[in-house]
Amino acid sequence: MKKLIIGVATCLFALSASIASAQMSRLSEAQIALIVVTANTIDINAGKLAIKQSKNKEVLDFARQMVSDHTAVNKAATDLVKKLKIKPAQSDNVKNLKGDAAEVTAKLKKLKGPAFDKAYVDNEVTYHQAIIDGLDNNLIPGARNEEFKALLESVRPAFVAHRDHAKALLQSLQ
């Protein structure tokens, strides 16, 4: 079990590196748009997995909040992208995010009970920090359209709150 948790942590590191180290300055706004939607979708799917697998009330409440909040961000981003007539475009960053997320999900699915809860919440801490780093260092500075940039800036506090909530929850699971 300990090896599996270490394996999840290794996958989390790769996933967070995909987000944080993306060379956004070379990406188009259309590619940034798809990265935003993909990153939110990954966390929605992780939340749905937690809802299916966890029995811990606090973890379940947190997972439901992740599904709800990230679904709302995806809707806002999708609505704005349509309004601005930006067609989301594929990039290697999106492929890497999806591949890393699939690896993390496969490892999480093998865990049960408290081991799952701890690994899921630990993932949420790492993942949200990577999203914050990606927003601060790449996505927000890379967005050229002011409305699109404003949307990214407006959702940043929610990601910080999610990370901080996950950190507190992780402490309670120790």
* Domains of the chain by start residue, with CATH: 2-173 (1.20.1260.10)
Q: Which pLDDT band, with edges at 50, 70 and 90, does 142 fall under?
A: confident
CA distance 132 to 152: 10
With 70 as the cut, is the pLDDT of residue 24 above it? no
With 50 as the cut, is the pLDDT of residue 4 above it? no
Report the share of the chain in percent with pLDDT over 90.
65
Q: Which pLDDT band, with edges at 50, 70 and 90, does 18 fall under?
A: low
Mean pLDDT across the chain: 86
pTM for the full predicted model:
0.84
Q: Which pLDDT band, with edges at 50, 70 and 90, does 10 fall under?
A: very low
With 60 as the cut, is the pLDDT of residue 6 above it? no
